[in-house]
Amino acid sequence: MKQNNLLTFALLFASALILPGLKAAEGFHLPGPGQTAHYEMCDAEGAAEASYDVIIRSQKLTADASEITMVYYCYKADGKAYFKAPNEMIFHITQQAGHTDIVFEELTQVIKAQTLLPVGDMSSIPLDLQVGQKLPDSSIDVKMGRMSAEIISEDRAVKEHRLITTPAGAFDAWLVHEKVTTKNVFRTTVAVADTWYVIDIGMVSQVIRDEKGNLLHTQQLTKLTK
């Protein structure tokens, strides 16, 4: 696969299911440092593909801006680390005046981890959701070294609200559907995500398809530790 295809997958991830609505203490995101979310991912045939742990390393909140540093620890299907020790993929998120920016520390890591990462944007999901509710479109700017991209989430709607179960437990969750378009210097690519979100966690289960409806990946929360 050419590098521009790899970047497309990586940039889709940058719309970041772990992006918080940082200005509120409560939201569809991990509440802060001290908690680890473990996810496992399967391919279209249901075979184990990868896993990763997510933590918040640091968080700074002000009245009109938010800054957060996220760390991903990525593992292959056989449990081996994706990267050299300490096996960390680090990126920084800034949210100000309703706009989100993401900066990845290492482009090569994002390219290597390409397909295991989630799709979607929860930075603009309100707490007072209702089934049938249409959510506003969103746009996120991403930078990775000299590379940049824009990620647009649209056609967003709340499809369902119910208790769902994953290996990590039972959760009161909301199902959000969205189309995510990634635009960079090489190409424009579209993915479609159906994601179950939970307050104070974020994504607990997700199905990712291409624009034609073909299944690409599924993933779910399997462990949550404090």
Q: CA angle at residue 217 from 216 to 223, to 5 degrees?
A: 175
Q: Is the peptide bond before 126 cis (omega within 30 degrees of 0)?
A: no
* Cα–Cα distance, 199 to 28 (Å, whole number): 4
The CATH code of domain 3-225 reads: 2.40.360.20
pLDDT at 17: 43
The DSSP bridge pattern shows strands 89-96 and 65-76 to be antiparallel
pLDDT at 44: 93
Which tens digit of pLDDT belongs to each residue from 157-186?
999 999 999 999 999 999 999 999 988 777
Sign of the dihedral through C-alpha 103, 107, 109, 111: positive
pLDDT at 8: 47
Question: Domain ranges in the chain?
Answer: 3-225
Per the confidence metrics, is the pTM higher than 0.85? yes
pLDDT at 114: 66
Residues constituting the chain: 226
* Chain Cα centroid distance, residue 137: 16
* Cα–Cα distance, 5 to 189 (Å, whole number): 9
Low-confidence residues of the chain: pLDDT under 70: 1-26, 114
In single-letter form, the type of residue at position 130 comes to Q
pLDDT at 75: 94
Element (H, E) at 108: helix 107-113
pLDDT at 6: 43
Which tens digit of pLDDT belongs to each residue from 5-23?
444 444 455 454 444 444 4
Yes or no: say if 222 and 38 are a contact pair by the CB < 8 Å rule. Answer: yes
pLDDT at 1: 42
